[in-house]
């Protein structure tokens, strides 16, 4: 078994030193694609590549006209496959697995159980505006699962959805456009309604960055795909 993590990053030097090291605690390698970074992200990845020789490798290119997420994720997928992985870890720069799953070795154990095309999902934990507390209510953020590991198989790739390039985390099979189901999901069940571990989604810790990012998302949705959703629905989604 060989697990290669895929990280698509743009200006993530505020968190990447943590998340990339955490990924290396359970992944064999991390493949990073730096797209149009203007902060210290590239230099940080270079330092980590020296700190973990042979385990961190990356590519970079200048800013594209648009953030074509599916095209970028496909580029990253092809890059990661050059290392001949059996499993692909799907990790954004602001995501970290909880330490209890790392210390116990459960992550790699779960990965070994996946069949080709199968995905491991974990509960999402939302640290709220700081690192020492998290949101715990009935909001969507407290009920969400995050796809974390995919056992690779031929034919899986990232595709846009009728030109829509946002928010699709999983590659899909060749029959996806004919409404075939996504790869089977293997879930980690919450015990007694409480999360026993999962993925820290750290975007809410940097609140100012989050507000600006969602403002950008709203403008992108309305300007690039004006007929996809009404403006008021886009507003509600990101607020």
Handedness of CA 169, 172, 178, 183 (dihedral sign): negative
Task: Using a cut of 0.95, tell me whether the model's pTM lies above it.
Answer: no
pLDDT digits (tens, 9 = 90+) for 20-48: 999 999 999 999 999 999 999 999 999 99
Q: Alpha-carbon distance 136 to 128, whole Å?
A: 9
Q: What is the pLDDT of residue 181?
A: 45
Q: Alpha-carbon distance 48 to 216, whole Å?
A: 29
Fold type of domain 3-205: Spore Coat Polysaccharide Biosynthesis Protein SpsA; Chain A (3.90.550)
Structural contact between residues 24 and 30, judged by C-beta atoms closer than 8 angstroms? yes
Hey, where are the domains in the chain? 3-205, 207-239
């Amino acid at each position: 078994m060989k697990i290669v993590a895929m990280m698509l990053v743009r200006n993530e030097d505020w968190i990447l030193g943590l998340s990339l090291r955490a990924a290396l605690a359970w992944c064999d390698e991390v493949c990073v694609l730096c797209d149009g970074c203007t902060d210290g992200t590239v230099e940080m990845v270079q330092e980590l590549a020296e700190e973990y020789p042979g385990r961190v490798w990356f590519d970079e290119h200048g800013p594209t006209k648009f953030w074509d997420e599916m095209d970028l994720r496909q580029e990253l997928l092809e890059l990661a496959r050059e290392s001949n992985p059996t499993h692909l870890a799907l990790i954004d720069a602001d995501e970290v697995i909880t330490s209890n799953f790392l210390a116990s070795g459960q992550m790699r154990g779960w990965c070994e159980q996946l069949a080709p095309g199968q995905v491991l999902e974990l509960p999402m934990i939302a640290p709220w505006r700081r690192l020492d507390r998290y949101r715990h209510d009935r909001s969507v953020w407290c009920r969400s699962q995050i796809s974390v590991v995919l056992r690779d198989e031929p034919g899986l790739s990232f595709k846009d959805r009728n030109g829509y390039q946002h928010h699709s985390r999983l590659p899909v099979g060749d029959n996806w456009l004919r409404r075939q189901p996504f790869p089977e999901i293997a879930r980690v069940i919450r015990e007694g309604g409480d999360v026993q571990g999962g993925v820290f989604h750290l975007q809410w810790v940097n609140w100012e960055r989050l507000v600006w990012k969602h403002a950008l998302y709203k403008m992108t949705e309305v300007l690039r795909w004006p007929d996809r959703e009404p403006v008021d629905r886009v507003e509600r989604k990101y607020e």
